[in-house]
Structure 1
């Protein structure tokens, strides 16, 4: 049984989530918090598997609350459910270490998939969020449209996503910097676009992995 806490001070959102999840046998809404203080008290007593939190300073919860959760309750996994729709707003959250993000316009199936992924410490971003960030640069939703990376390319992608520069990657994998640069060029060619930073790459990996899990 997955125990959840919903952290959102908007009544309709909370009730909507409870209703959407009511018939899922192995998901239980163990608590509802509408303030950061209330959330921390619940975390100490309920020890949930997943927190679904709306990051919106106007409505109490912000990115600082998520950072404190990670620091003080490191076994707790966080799923951000947000109305943030602008690319810079989403990347602001991702750059603070959020690995699971769904928009409030996502489907019920996406929300449930996101909860399961979060509980397993797997990355998940809903499709509408990915479209906001990458638009038509996303791989097509068909098997032959998903870029297939080699084992070495996958290793390099993961190190890039950690924010490591070419020299550090080369040292860790016992490669030359020139070889790493060549691999990066091949990765960019396969993905179909140049990623600007580690956060964008992390998002794309999450999209690809979440889709492959459904095949």
Structure 2
């Protein structure tokens, strides 16, 4: 039996996921939580095999929560389930230790497939996403655009795109303000811009907000 914990702040989504998984007799939903504090409180009590984690779960940034999970519960496998841009966040979350990424736009039948594959030691992304990450359709060459940014750079850019100031970004990600400024400069260089307005336009193009 594969024990699954659902971490999403919307009860309707939680119930929908649980209903979608109920037809698979090899999967058991052992807990549902709405915030990261609930997540870390419940984890040691239920010891799930798979954590289905919403990218924008309240209280702590999803990638930050993922890092903490991998640090404190290294044996737990995490499937990110989100409406955020796949092209950007799939790479970032996999780099941060996720075992898979599934868009909320995906067919619910893929949930069981993803959970089973991850439970058996595999890594899950959809075939469509794998193709989009691997090739640029216009040139048929490997895409490097979305691979320019590190996981931390994506986190910083997302928060800046949401209008957050350096101090907030630093506190949210456990950095100091000087380091955030360094990331901003690095982002401008990688995205080939020389001001914040253009950088935020790039963030919009990347579907970060």
- Please give the range of the TM-score, normalised by the shorter of the 2 chains: 0.5 to 0.7
Compared CA separation, residues 35 and 134, structure 1 to 2 (3 A) = same
Matching residue of 1:69: 69
Provide the C-alpha distance between the structure 2 equivalents of 1:133 and 1:126, rounded to a whole number of angstroms.
Answer: 11
* Residues 18-46 of structure 1, C-alpha deviations (whole Å, 9 max, x = no match): 11111211111000011111111211111
Please identify the structure whose Cα radius of gyration is greater: 1
Provide the C-alpha distance between the structure 2 equivalents of 1:84 and 1:59, rounded to a whole number of angstroms.
Answer: 17
Question: 1:100 and 2:85 equivalent?
Answer: no
Question: 1:43 and 2:43 equivalent?
Answer: yes
Contact conserved, 1:50 with 1:77, CA < 8 A, in 2?
yes
Compared CA separation, residues 118 and 61, structure 1 to 2 (3 A) = farther
Matching residue of 2:120: 120
Q: What secondary structure, in the 3-state scheme, does the structure 1 residue paired with 2:44 have?
A: helix
Q: CA RMSD in A?
A: 2.7
Contact conserved, 1:55 with 1:62, CA < 8 A, in 2?
yes
Contact conserved, 1:36 with 1:60, CA < 8 A, in 2?
yes
Count of residues paired in the alignment: 146
Aligned ranges for residues 1-215 of structure 1 at < 5 Å?
A: 1-56=1-56, 62-85=62-85, 87-130=87-130, 132-134=132-134, 193-194=141-142, 196=144
Q: Structure 1 residues 76-85 or 128-137, which shifts more?
A: 128-137
* Residues 2-30 of structure 1, C-alpha deviations (whole Å, 9 max, x = no match): 11100001112101101111121111100
Structure 2 gaps of 5+ residues are 149-209
Q: Structure 1 residues 26-35 or 87-96, which shifts more?
A: 87-96
Q: Structure 1 residues 81-90 or 118-127, which shifts more?
A: 81-90
Contact conserved, 1:7 with 1:35, CA < 8 A, in 2?
yes
* Residues 39-88 of structure 1, C-alpha deviations (whole Å, 9 max, x = no match): 11211111111110111166855111111111101111111111012523
Structure 1 gaps of 5+ residues are 138-191, 201-215
Matching residue of 2:164: none
Q: TM-score, normalised by structure 2?
A: 0.61
